């Protein structure tokens, strides 16, 4: 499905990013994974290689413009310009009431969750324009549309991601570059594990009960489910742009949830 395509996946060292990278590689893409932790990146590359895929890793802080430029340049030198960008890197903190959140922690959350998507998208767009095609997939969250106490910085950053996705999609329509937001739902990742490790004082009773209940109720999805959706959106035939949603949302374009 993606034979000959070049994909970059940020936050590709573990969890959802790793699952997406593996799925893209299995669909035929040459995949470059980026994150700040080299050991995790090497594990993802090994998993892909073990399955017969092609992958490379580039240690990157995606909130740093110089690192992002190096990432895109390094991938282009080895595989060619990117056809697919999956903006997955993210962080959940700082947690707690907005009135108590420090400015530096707030800025860091927006830098990793939103500014990084702006930087990476800007960096790959010239190559996509040159190729005459491209797919940008921004990983978002349902919290972007919900007012949940004590996880405000994360929710605000994802709300920004949603609007960025829609605006960029509109601006790139004439270049055959599609931009969409993928909401994976509640996925069983290290981020959820981190949240479960917080006490009720930090999360507050409502968020604490929600986080604990997801695990106890068996409501967390396996990362591979959202990875399948990423592959679907990345396919040339999908033609979808400017959309933000979960698996259910993309069913109207022919996506089918695995049995």
Residue 154 is among the residues annotated as catalytic for this protein = yes
Q: Tokens for 38?
A: 């080299």
> How large is the C-alpha radius of gyration of the chain?
17
Give the active site residue among 79, 154, 175, 208: 154
Phi-psi region of 73 (alpha: psi -120 to 50; beta: other; left: phi over 0): alpha
Model pLDDT, residue 146? 86
Task: State the pTM of this model.
Answer: 0.93
Count the Cβ atoms, other than its own, within 10 Å of residue 143: 18
For residue 259, what pLDDT is reported? 63
| DSSP conformational letter for 7 | E
Averages of pLDDT over runs of 10 residues in the chain (259 residues) are: 95 94 98 95 96 96 96 98 96 90 95 97 98 97 88 94 98 96 88 83 87 84 90 88 95 86
Q: Is 87 helix (H, G, I), strand (E, B) or coil?
A: strand
Ramachandran area for residue 236 (φ above 0: left; ψ -120 to 50: alpha; else beta): alpha
Class of residue 205 by CB neighbours under 10 A (exposed 0-12, middle 13-18, buried 19+): exposed
CB count within 10 Å of CB 138 equals 25
Fold that domain 6-185+222-252 belongs to in CATH = Rossmann fold (3.40.50)
> Where in the chain are the domains?
6-185+222-252
Distance between CA 132 and CA 57 in Å, rounded? Answer: 25
The pLDDT, as a whole number, for residue 192 is 81
CB contact set of 59 (below 8 Å; sequence gap of 6+): 34, 35, 36, 37, 38, 41
pLDDT at 23: 97
DSSP state, 141?
Answer: -
Q: What is the pLDDT of residue 194?
A: 83
């Amino acid at each position: 499905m993606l034979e000959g395509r070049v994909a970059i996946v940020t936050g590709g060292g573990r969890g959802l990013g790793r699952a997406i990278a593996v799925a893209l590689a299995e669909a035929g893409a040459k995949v470059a994974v980026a994150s700040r932790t080299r050991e995790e990146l090497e594990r993802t590359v090994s998993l892909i290689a073990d399955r017969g895929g092609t992958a490379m890793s580039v240690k990157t802080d995606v909130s740093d413009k110089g690192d992002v430029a190096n990432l895109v340049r390094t991938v282009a030198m080895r595989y060619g310009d990117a056809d697919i960008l999956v903006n997955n890197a993210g962080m959940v903190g700082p947690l707690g009431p907005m009135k108590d959140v420090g400015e530096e922690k707030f800025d860091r959350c927006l830098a990793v969750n939103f500014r990084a998507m702006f930087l990476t998208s800007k960096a790959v767009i010239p190559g996509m324009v040159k190729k005459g095609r491209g797919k940008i997939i921004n990983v978002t969250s349902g919290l972007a549309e919900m007012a949940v106490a004590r996880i405000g910085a994360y929710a605000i950053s994802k709300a920004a991601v949603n609007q960025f996705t829609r605006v960029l999609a509109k601006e790139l329509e004439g270049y055959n570059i599609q931009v969409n937001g993928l909401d994976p739902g509640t996925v069983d990742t290290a981020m959820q594990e981190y949240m479960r490790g917080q006490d009720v004082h930090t999360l507050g009773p409502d968020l604490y009960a929600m986080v604990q209940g997801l695990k106890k109720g068996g409501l967390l999805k396996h990362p591979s489910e959202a990875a399948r959706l990423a592959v679907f959106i990345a396919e040339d035939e999908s033609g979808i742009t400017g959309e933000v949603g979960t698996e259910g949302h993309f069913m109207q374009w022919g996506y089918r949830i695995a049995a």
